[in-house]
Amino acid sequence: MAWQFYMAIQQSTPTDYSMKKRFQGLLWAGLSLTIVCGPVRSQSVTVDSIYSSILKRKVATTIILPPNYTATKSYPVFYLLHRWAGNHASFLKTNLLTELKDRQLLVVTPSADTSWYVNAVGNATSRYEDFMVQELFPYIDKKYGANPTRQAIGGYSMGGYGALQLGLKHLERFRFIGDISGPINAPFYDVPPTPRSPLPIIMNSVRVAFGDQNSSVARESNVFNLLQSNPVSPRLFVYMAVGKQDEFDFMIPQHQLLIEALKKKQVPFAYQEYEANHFSGKVVDACLPDLLTQLTINLK
For range 63-87, the mean pLDDT:
96
pLDDT for 1 beyond 70: no
- What is the third-level CATH fold of 18-298? Rossmann fold (3.40.50)
Nearest to 270 by CA among 7, 3, 1: 7
- How far apart are the C-alpha atoms of 19 and 178, rounded to whole Å? 26
Examine the pLDDT at 214 and tell me if it is beyond 50: yes
Torsion of Cα atoms, 146 then 58 then 96 then 278, to 10°: -120
pLDDT at 64 over 60: yes
Average pLDDT of the residues in 152-173 = 98
In this structure, the dihedral spanned by the alpha carbons of residues 224, 229, 235 and 236, taken in order and rounded to 10 degrees, is -10
Residue range 87-131, pLDDT digits in tens:
999 999 999 999 999 899 999 999 999 999 999 997 888 999 999
Contacts of 137 (CB under 8 A, 6+ apart): 79, 173
Residues ≥6 apart with Cβ < 8 Å to 186: 116, 161, 206, 210, 221
Strand-pairing partners, residue 240, are: 179, 271
- pLDDT exceeds cutoff 70 at 28: no
Confidence (pTM): 0.86
